[in-house]
């Protein structure tokens, strides 16, 4: 008998099946338990009524189902964006966001406690980096949101706190857990991994046999400017990142999303738009233009005319682009804001 209970959310279907068989239970018991957890949102073994009392007690002694505790929840009266501050088992905190669109909802989930990348426009890095999340802690955010809202989440973006590709193994394991038909059964093409750009990890991701959506946080069209807002660009240049993105496209045949935060009188000039179009020429991309959420006091949004002009130049250059205003600005839904306020208390 195990001395330490295993968190079911950390386990792939095959791993859980093996653990169930090690306890002397029939393999279909694994399916029953996972159905309760992932489909019915039952997280206490004694409530799994199609299992005998003896089996429920055996499961409770050997397994756990660890969900984070919600310390704070904010709902936007404008667009219903819902932001959570969660406490993990070790007391650390992370954020998750539920975004509502016409006909569906998207969960934006975290992959690290804090972030080591420290982009100048992002609040997450200002609170420092503590550790990577485990696969189970990543998966648990989805279940916790669903349990609170009764929403079935079919769209997931790894775009919360942290750099997903710096927690590669746990992120990929969580993806494999979530797409399994025995668990959440999320369509792999409904999952997006957003990265600031780690070239070797992007290439590795292209070799996983998964049709994940890839989003790259570029945010500048020259290394000189990107160096100023994304310190990691001094290690991985724009050219290296986009070369890896091209390899990803070749191996996956997926369109890559380019995220570009527009900052007034910094990266919003016509020459920036033209340079960006030149960099992306020949790639199958879609550019999300994001007027900055003013987390940093010395960074402001461009005028609406400037925003529209930037988009117009991209479109005229044959680059698909759209302006995306961040949801939940009225509830501090940008990454890291709620956590910083909690840490400052």
Would you say 303 and 276 are in contact if contact means Cβ atoms under 8 Å apart? Answer: no
Both tokens assigned to 79:
């667009």
Angle between helices 168-179 and 199-206 (to 10 degrees): 30
How would residue 1 be classed by pLDDT, with cut points 50, 70 and 90? very low
Would you say 117 and 230 are in contact if contact means Cβ atoms under 8 Å apart? Answer: yes
- Cα dihedral across residues 328, 334, 339, 342: positive or negative: negative
Say whether pLDDT at 344 is over 60: no
Whole-number pLDDT of residue 330: 63
Residues facing 132 on adjacent strands: 112
Whole-number pLDDT of residue 110: 98
Catalytic residue (one of 10, 95, 137, 163): 95
Whole-number pLDDT of residue 230: 96
How would residue 194 be classed by pLDDT, with cut points 50, 70 and 90? very high
> 23-50 burial by CB neighbour count: b if 16+ within 10 A, else e?
eebeeebbebbbebbbeeebbebeebee
Q: What whole-number percentage of the chain has pLDDT above 70?
A: 92
Catalytic residue (one of 108, 119, 122, 335): 335
Say whether pLDDT at 148 is over 80: yes
Q: What whole-number percentage of the chain has pLDDT above 90?
A: 84
Would you say 314 and 276 are in contact if contact means Cβ atoms under 8 Å apart? Answer: yes
DSSP H helices, the chain, are 13-22, 28-34, 53-62, 135-149, 168-179, 199-206, 223-229, 238-252, 270-280, 304-316, 337-343
Whole-number pLDDT of residue 127: 79
Whole-number pLDDT of residue 345: 57
**Structural domains of the chain in order of their starting residue, each with its CATH number:** 6-64 (1.10.150.530), 69-343 (3.20.20.70)
* CA–CA dist 20, 28 (Å, integer): 9
Q: Does 95 participate in catalysis according to the annotation?
A: yes
Whole-number pLDDT of residue 343: 58
Nearest to 164 by CA among 133, 123, 200: 133
Query: What is the tens place of the pLDDT at every residue in 304-329?
Result: 999 999 999 999 999 999 999 776 66
Q: To which residue do tokens 């079911």 refer?
A: 8
Say whether pLDDT at 3 is over 80: no
Query: What is the tens place of the pLDDT at every residue in 204-230?
Result: 999 999 989 999 999 999 999 999 999
Query: What is the tens place of the pLDDT at every residue in 36-45?
Result: 999 999 999 9
Whole-number pLDDT of residue 339: 56
* CA–CA dist 267, 221 (Å, integer): 8
* CA–CA dist 319, 286 (Å, integer): 7
Q: Does 335 participate in catalysis according to the annotation?
A: yes
Would you say 265 and 304 are in contact if contact means Cβ atoms under 8 Å apart? Answer: no
Whole-number pLDDT of residue 325: 79
């Amino acid at each position: 008998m195990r001395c330490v209970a295993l968190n079911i959310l950390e386990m792939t279907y095959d791993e859980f099946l093996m653990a169930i068989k090690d306890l002397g239970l029939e393999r279909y018991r694994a399916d029953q338990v996972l159905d309760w957890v992932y489909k019915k949102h039952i997280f206490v073994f004694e409530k799994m009524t199609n299992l005998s009392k003896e089996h429920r007690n055996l499961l409770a002694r050997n397994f756990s189902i660890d969900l984070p505790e919600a310390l704070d929840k904010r709902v936007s009266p404008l667009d219903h964006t819902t932001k959570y501050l969660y406490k993990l088992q070790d007391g650390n905190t992370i954020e998750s966001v539920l975004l509502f669109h016409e006909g569906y909802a998207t969960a934006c989930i975290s992959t690290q406690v804090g972030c080591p990348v420290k982009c100048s426009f992002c609040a997450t890095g200002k609170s420092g980096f503590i550790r990577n999340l485990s696969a189970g802690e990543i998966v648990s955010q989805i279940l916790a949101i669903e349990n609170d809202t009764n929403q079935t989440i079919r769209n997931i973006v790894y775009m919360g706190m942290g750099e997903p590709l710096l927690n590669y193994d746990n992120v990929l394991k969580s993806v494999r857990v979530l797409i399994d038909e025995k668990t959440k059964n999320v369509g792999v093409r409904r999952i997006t991994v957003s990265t600031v750009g780690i070239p070797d990890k992007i290439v590795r991701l292209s070799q996983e046999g998964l049709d994940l959506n890839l989003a790259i946080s570029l945010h500048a069209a020259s290394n000189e400017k990107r160096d100023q807002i994304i310190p990691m660009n001094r290690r991985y240049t724009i050219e290296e990142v986009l070369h890896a993105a091209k390899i990803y496209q070749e191996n996956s045949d997926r369109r890559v999303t380019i995220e570009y935060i527009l900052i007034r009188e910094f990266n919003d000039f016509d020459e920036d738009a033209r340079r960006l179009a030149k960099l992306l020429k020949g790639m199958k991309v879609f550019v999300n233009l994001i007027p900055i959420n003013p987390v940093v006091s010395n960074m402001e949004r461009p005028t609406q005319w400037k925003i529209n002009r930037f988009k117009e130049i991209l479109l005229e250059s044959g680059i698909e682009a759209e302006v995306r205003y961040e949801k939940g600005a009225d509830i501090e839904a940008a990454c890291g804001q709620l956590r910083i306020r909690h840490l400052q208390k």
